[in-house]
Each structure stands twice: as structure tokens, then as C-alpha cells.
Structure 1
Amino acid sequence: MGATVRLHQLAIKTRTDQAVFPFSDQVTVVTGSIGVGKSSLLELLKFGLGATSAKLMPAVEQNVTSVEIQVTLGSRRYTLIREVGKNNVDVVDHSTGELIGPWSATNKKYMPKASQELLAALGLPADLRIPRKRSKPTSETVGVSFFDLYKYIYLGQNDIDTQVVGHTNSHLDLKRRAVFELVYGLNSPELIDLAILKGKWTDRAAQLKSRAEAIKDFLAQAEEPELEQLESLEQETRRALEEATSLLDSVRTESDAVLEAQRGTRQRVSQLRGQLSELIAVRDATAADVRKSESLMAQLRLDQQALQRADVAHRALSGLEFSSCPRCLQDVRDRDVPSGHCLLCTQPEEVYSEFDSGELKRLAAQIGETQSLMEEDEGSLEDQQVKVRQVEEDLAELTMELERAASAMISPQLEEVQTLAMEIARFEAQLEKIESSAARWSNYQSSVDAASDAEEEAMRVAQQEAALQDDLSSNQSRIDDLSIVFNEIVGALQLPWYSSAEIDKDTYLPIVNGAKFDDLSVGGARKTIVNLAYHLANLQYGLTHPDTLYPTLLIVDSPRKNIGQTAEDSIVGEKVYEYIMHLRAEFEGSFQMIIADNSVPAGTPEGYAELHFTYDAPLVPGVSHPGEGVETV
């Protein structure tokens, strides 16, 4: 028996009412007129499991507040509760009442995703990813969810005559094949992981090769030498650099010897420069003393001359009495001038004494002394000037001697040193350029080596993948066995147009009378029957092969869609139900089917349960249906 999936009941709540729909029998047929809610019930089952693609009609969205489903997945029974308009599903362990926690119908951070948890409950990897490309897979992947598996469980009304498990959509078809291969043991999660890992190594190898080619193209455009040429050029440059460096050291040694021979002359020049500095300092100090003495002499002579003039004036005018002012000729005799004051200027009259004559004598003595000191300083200054000139002459002669020697011996060596230094700088710059080129070539080689390593890893993974595929290769016969079951079912339906039926070994899609599903009749009736037979064949094969993971639940909406109303058409519908009840009898208790149809054909064997909806009692409790021909539920 395959993966156990069984629905026990569906409960829906409105703001004022609630309804419980049990699925206690192995086969449950939901019947009723158009628009009473048959398809909506199946969509609510899908919604309650956490699907985001469930189609809820306006009557459901406007009135139903929550959905509660009891379902067995694997060995565990759950109660799933989801509010309409919400993306969280509350999950309870039905046996213990333990709250397992909310699952999210969408991707929510820090919350388990319903589709992944449901996969894990069936024994499949929760985070199942497959390569985006079946041929030459790369590191790009797409996720496979529980609802990709659910497409094998739920054959919807819109899909039953148009597509097989979403095969017309390239994105869904990729996942359809992956689910089929996992269910039938043609592939395994380990193999899928290896395929993804191989794709990653293959991608890395391609990226590294592309990078290496880009580096190589850049080096070619930059006209940089090949790696072998660089190695030869580096050796030549290093030899030239060593030779230039050695020659520079030799020239510097010779220069040092010449400089050592002239050391005595340089020392004498240094001594003379020091001596000259000292003599100039003493000379300048003496010259400053002479200038001070000259300044003092000039002041003393001015003072002497002033005293002499005052003495002459005093002696000449002391006996004169003025009766009128010599300037304005006015009479000055009648003025009120105190006794002892001058009649002209009214100032107190000074009494001339012999002191003034002594002051002139003192000034004359000071002038003589200053003159003597100044003459002594002037004589010393002349001697110092002679010494300064002598030292300057000696220094100039020695300096010229050094310059002549440098011009004859040092200058050519200095020019050679400069030339060699420039060559060394050029060689060092060339080495830096060579090293940069070598680094780029090294980067190129590293990329090539890394690409080779990545290819080896891809080959190693491919070998592991091939070994696992060999282990599963025997399971390929299951497609042949499934073809046999499919052919028997199509034949059992007594279709007048049937001659042969099989399963395509590459696409796993049905082929009838040599025609692919898409090439069957335009009307859709044949596609409906073939699609239904395909799902029944998968279910039956899973029931007889417990080592497969095909789900034990099949939900079918409108199994007689487009079949028609003639007697021959009615027979086809009856044969469909006869085969379903045949499976029920053969595999009693091993699987579950929920079918939505307008009615059950007359003559259908007993053993099924029926949920019947009417316009007076539609799916949504407490909501009366307005009648035939208006909005459907």
C-alpha cells in the first residue's frame, strides 16, 4: 500500500451555523444539482489542508468563517483548522489533543510551512528541491511541495478534460515528473541531492572557465608576454639588476676612497671656517665699540659747544640794561617785575659762577679720554681686518683645491652613480610589471585548475549518481506494469473507440490508440475518461505495490464531464462507477475516493456513501440558495 492519506470529515462554520460532512465510507459521492456546492466542498478540503490555490466561491468567502478537517497522514491523525481569509493553519494531534502549532500556508519567517510539514508526514523530505532543468541540471532548483503531490490526489473539474496533473504548464510539468519518479521509486531524494550537487559543481566549473577565458583575453589585448616568456624576461632582468647594483657598489667604494684621501684638506677647511667665524665676530664687536665711541664724541662736542656759546653770550650781555623790547620796541621799564627777574622775559635771573667754567674743563677731559680709547679700538680693528682677510684668502685657496679635485675625480663618478641608479630603478619597475603580469597569469592558471577540480568533483558526483541509478534501474519496469494496469482499466470501460492504451516511458503521460493526451478529441469526453483511467491506474498500482509512495486517496470532480446523454454514453458512465466499486471490493479499506457528480448512475453497486446537496440544503449551512440558474456555490 502507498502513502496513507485519508480524510475523515470536514466541518465548516458560519457566523450563525455549522455543518459536519463525514467521509466514513471508503467511497463517498457528493451529489446534487448544479451550483449547490459540490465543487466548493472539494476546494474547501484543499483549502483546509493549507493550499493557497483553492478556489472559494463568493458564497463561501462571504459566509464561511472557518474550516476544520480531520485527516490521517502516514501513521498520524491530525485536526486542521483554518479561518477563511487567513494563511495560518492550527494543527492538533487528534489522538492526544496536543497543539502541534500553527503552520503557514505561505512563506512566513519562524513558522513551519504547511506544504512542507505535510510532505514530511508522508515520509518525504520536507524541504524537497529539484533541479530546474531535467537535462544537464545546474545549481538552479525549484521547490516541490505537498500540493504538487496533491495534483495526483485531486482531479479537478477544470483539469479533468484539459491536462494531466498540470502537464500543460512547463513549470508544473517539471514537478509532475519529479513527483511521479519519487512515488514510483524511479528517483530518490538522495539522487536529487546528487543531481543538484553535480549541477553546482558543473556551474562552478563553467564560471571558472569563463573567468579564465576573460583573463586570457585581457592579457592578449594588453599584449602581455606568455608565461614562459615572462619567466625568461624575469631572469634576464634580475641578472641585469644584480650587475647594475654590483657596479654601483664598486663606484661608491671608489668615491669613498677619494673622499678619504682628501679628509685632511676638508678638516683644514672646516677649521678655517670656524676660525673665520670667530674673527668676524670679534671684528664686528670692535667695530661696534668704535661706532659707540664716535657717537659719544659727537655728543660731547655738541655739549662743549653749547656751554661755550652760553658763556660768550653771558659775558657780552651781562652789563646791558634794556629800556624797550628789542623785538617790538615797547617800553619795559614800567612793568611790574619782581626783584631778581629779567625785565624782558620775567624769569629769575641766574647767577653766573665759576662752575660753568669747570664744566667746560670736564667735557674737554672726557673728550680727550674718549678720543684715546677710540683710537685704540680703531688700531685693534685694523689688526682684526688683516687677520680676517688672511683667513679668507687661505680658505678660498683650500676650497678651490677641493673643487679642482672634485671636478677631476668625483664628478665623473657621481654621474656614473646617477646613471646606474636610474638603470636600477628601471629594472626594478620592469620587475614589478613582470610580477604583475605573472600574478594575472597565476590568477588565470588558478581559475583553470579550480575549473578542472570542479569538473572532477562533478564527475565524482556523477559516478555516485550512476551507482544509485543502477540500484533503482530495476524500478523502470514499473512503468510497463503501470501501462498494463492502465490498458486493463481503459478496456474495462468498454469504450467503442478504444484499441490500446499505455504510459509513455519518458513523459509518464497516457497514450491511447497511439495518440498523446493532447491529441485526443476536441470535445473533451475522451480526455475525461483517459484522465480518470490514468488516475485510477496509478491508485490501483500503488495499492498492489506497497513499496511505492502513491497516495491512497483520490478525489475526482465530475468524472462524467462531457460524456454525453446517449445510451452509449450512459454505459460509459456506468462502467466508470462499476470499476470504482470493483476497486472498493478488491481493496476494501485500503484506499479512499471522494467523487463529486450530479448523481450516481442507476445500477451502481451498493457500498458507497452519499452526501446530497439541494437548493434548499446547499453546502453552506444557514444560507439559502436562490435557485437554479443563478449564482452557484
Structure 2
Amino acid sequence: MTDWQSSPTSSSAPTTPSWTVRRWSRALSVDIEHRTSQRVTPRLQAFTDVSNRLAYAQARQRELETVLRQWDRVDDLAAAEDRLRAERDSVRAEFERLENAIETRRRGILDELNAEFSRAIRSIGVPSIETTQIHPTNYLPMLNGKPFHKASRGGGIITATQIAYWTSILCVVVTRGDTYYPSFLLIDSPRMALNSATDISAALYRRLRDLASALPGKLQLIVADNQLPDSVQRDFAELDFDYDRPTVATVDHPGPAAVETIENCDDLP
């Protein structure tokens, strides 16, 4: 008799309980986390730290390069300052040297003018003059400590002083030969102001003669006057102008009173 109720058999493999799987999973996670914390995380942290240090170093490098450029600029400015200071000191020294040279030259010329002016006043014989001087700043003549136009109201003394002054300047200029002052003097009617002072007139013309003869060919003197003193007539090249010999030779002078007045002109409106 066959037993149909025998226990069933299974051909499948045995299964693992779920709690075991969960235990293994937790263990694996712990192991991964442990290994990660021991190996990966420190490396990542080290990389982050190195990156941060590199970024700081690069920023610091740029900052220091900026500072170095600034110091280079400071050095350049300091060098430029030293150079400009040296140039300024050189220019200042040259300026002082030139100022001293100008002052020395001015004093020398002024001394020569004073000596020549005093000699001219004495040679012409200007009366009542005790002291003479060329003013040190405006370079005008002074008589007895006063400006020449205040020292005397007489026209003769003023005229004689002016001629003595201008001939003194001309004499110093031509004698020195180192200025651009023109070596030319034109005098208009000196005897008109001197009137009867014949001695001064003669002395004045002798002064002009002596100046011209002492410096021949270096200056030109022209005197426009009505008549020369007798004592010096032969010392001057004299040009006379009258109706027969007009100043402009190509223009004939009509002669005394030969003038057509405006009211006699018919072509006037």
C-alpha cells in the first residue's frame, strides 16, 4: 500500500533571513564610513587646506608685488628728487655766481661813471658844484647830493650837467667796449641855454673835442648850434646850412618871407 501522504521535498536553496542582511548592510556601511574617514576625508581636507594656503599665498604674492612696485616707484621718485635737488642747487649756485658777477660789473661801471662824470664837471667848469654822483639805482646825475634838476634852476648849469653826463656815459661805454650802448651822441643848440657863459661854452666844446680825439673812429658826435666858439672852430668839421645851402640839398628853400600862406591858396574849399 502506497503512502501518498509522505512529507514534501524542496529542490530550492536555503534563504538568508532579512535581519542578517540588514546586519551585514550596517556593518558594511560602518566599514565604508570608517575607511572613508581614515583615508578619503583626510585627503580631501588636506587638499582643501592646500588649496586655501595656495590661494592665500597667491594673494599675498600679489600684495607683496604691489608693495615692491610701490617701493620701486618710491626709489625712482627718490632718485628723481635727488637729481632735481642737485640740478636746483647747481642752478642756484650758477644764479648766485651770475648775480655776483652782475653786481661786480655794475659797481665797476658805476665807479667808472662817477669818476668820469666828476672829471667832466670839473673840466667844463660848472659853477657852484661841490660834489657829483651817479645815483646807484636810477643812474641819473646828482649835484651836491640832490637830483640835477633840483640842484639848480639855471638852464646853463642843467645843460652843462646833461652834456657832462651823456659824454661820461659815452666815454665809459666806448672805453669798455663790452656793451651794446650806441656810440653816438646828438646835441641840439647847447649855447642857446648858456647865453653869455662863453667860458663854459668853450669848455663844453673842448670836452667834446677831447672825447672825439681820445677815441677816434669809435664814436660819432653831432652838435647842432648857431655858432662855434672861436677857440675850437678849427677842431670840428663844420657844416653850415642857410638859404643857399639848405639842409636837404634837393629841396630849394623859398628864402625869407617867401612863403605862401594858407589863406592865399585858391584851391582850398
Deviations 1:465-513 (A, max 9, x none): 3331112222122201210100000110112222221211111110112
- Deviation (angstroms), 1:459: 10
The secondary structure found in structure 2 opposite 1:502 is strand
Call closer, same or farther: CA 1:598–1:459 in 2, change over 3 Å.
farther
Aligned to 2:227: 599
Amino acid at match of 2:171: Q
Preserved CA contact (<8 Å) 2:126 2:161: no
Report the count of equivalent residues. Answer: 172
Aligned to 1:505: 136
The secondary structure found in structure 2 opposite 1:612 is coil
- Deviation (angstroms), 1:532: 0.9
Aligned to 2:42: none
Alignment of 1:166-177 (within 5 A): none
Amino acid at match of 1:528: T
Deviations 1:103-126 (A, max 9, x none): xxxxxxxxxxxxxxxxxxxxxxxx
Gapped regions of structure 1 (runs ≥ 5): 1-456
Amino acid at match of 2:205: Y
C-alpha separation in 2, matches of 1:619 and 1:547:
35
Relative to its length, the structure with more strand (as a share) is 1
Amino acid at match of 2:256: G
Aligned to 2:28: none
- Which of 224, 229, 236 is equivalent to 1:608? 236
C-alpha separation in 2, matches of 1:584 and 1:518:
27
Preserved CA contact (<8 Å) 1:616 1:625: no
Amino acid at match of 1:478: I
Amino acid at match of 1:611: L
What percentage of aligned pairs have identical amino acids? 29
Deviates more, 1:618-627 or 1:524-533: 618-627
Aligned to 2:176: 545
Alignment of 1:164-243 (within 5 A): none
Call closer, same or farther: CA 1:459–1:517 in 2, change over 3 Å.
farther
- Deviation (angstroms), 1:595: 1.2
Deviations 1:160-191 (A, max 9, x none): xxxxxxxxxxxxxxxxxxxxxxxxxxxxxxxx
Alignment of 1:432-471 (within 5 A): 464-471=94-101
| 1:579 aligns to 2:210 (yes or no) | no
Call closer, same or farther: CA 1:618–1:508 in 2, change over 3 Å.
same
Deviations 1:25-78 (A, max 9, x none): xxxxxxxxxxxxxxxxxxxxxxxxxxxxxxxxxxxxxxxxxxxxxxxxxxxxxx
Aligned to 1:622: 251
Q: Highest relative contact order (Cα 8 Å, sep 6+), 1 or 2?
A: 1
Aligned to 2:78: none
Q: Provide the TM-score with structure 2 as the length reference.
A: 0.56
The secondary structure found in structure 2 opposite 1:533 is helix
- Which of 526, 530, 534 is equivalent to 2:161? 530
Amino acid at match of 1:470: N
- Which of 125, 135, 150 is equivalent to 1:519? 150
| 1:472 aligns to 2:102 (yes or no) | yes
Preserved CA contact (<8 Å) 1:485 1:537: yes
Preserved CA contact (<8 Å) 1:581 1:605: no
Call closer, same or farther: CA 1:463–1:517 in 2, change over 3 Å.
farther
Call closer, same or farther: CA 1:605–1:615 in 2, change over 3 Å.
closer
C-alpha separation in 2, matches of 1:521 and 1:482:
21
Deviations 1:384-428 (A, max 9, x none): xxxxxxxxxxxxxxxxxxxxxxxxxxxxxxxxxxxxxxxxxxxxx
| 1:556 aligns to 2:184 (yes or no) | no
Point out the structure with max Rg over C-alpha.
1
Preserved CA contact (<8 Å) 1:500 1:512: yes
- Deviation (angstroms), 1:572: 0.6
Aligned to 1:135: none
C-alpha separation in 2, matches of 1:519 and 1:461:
44
- Deviation (angstroms), 1:462: 6.4
- Deviation (angstroms), 1:537: 0.2
Preserved CA contact (<8 Å) 1:502 1:511: yes
Amino acid at match of 1:511: M
Alignment of 1:13-162 (within 5 A): none
- Deviation (angstroms), 1:518: 2.8
- Deviation (angstroms), 1:529: 1.2
Call closer, same or farther: CA 1:505–1:458 in 2, change over 3 Å.
farther
Deviations 1:421-474 (A, max 9, x none): xxxxxxxxxxxxxxxxxxxxxxxxxxxxxxxxxxxx999976653331112222
C-alpha separation in 1, matches of 2:140 and 2:149:
10
C-alpha separation in 2, matches of 1:528 and 1:458:
50
Call closer, same or farther: CA 1:493–1:459 in 2, change over 3 Å.
same
The secondary structure found in structure 2 opposite 1:556 is strand
Deviations 1:59-102 (A, max 9, x none): xxxxxxxxxxxxxxxxxxxxxxxxxxxxxxxxxxxxxxxxxxxx
Preserved CA contact (<8 Å) 2:126 2:157: no
Call closer, same or farther: CA 1:596–1:490 in 2, change over 3 Å.
same
Relative to its length, the structure with more helix (as a share) is 2
Call closer, same or farther: CA 1:517–1:461 in 2, change over 3 Å.
farther
| 1:494 aligns to 2:125 (yes or no) | yes
- Deviation (angstroms), 1:535: 0.7
C-alpha separation in 2, matches of 1:484 and 1:526:
19
Deviations 1:209-266 (A, max 9, x none): xxxxxxxxxxxxxxxxxxxxxxxxxxxxxxxxxxxxxxxxxxxxxxxxxxxxxxxxxx
Gapped regions of structure 2 (runs ≥ 5): 1-86, 261-269
Alignment of 1:274-353 (within 5 A): none
Q: Provide the TM-score with structure 1 as the length reference.
A: 0.25
C-alpha separation in 2, matches of 1:574 and 1:513:
24
- Deviation (angstroms), 1:605: 5.5
C-alpha separation in 2, matches of 1:605 and 1:498:
28
Preserved CA contact (<8 Å) 1:618 1:625: no
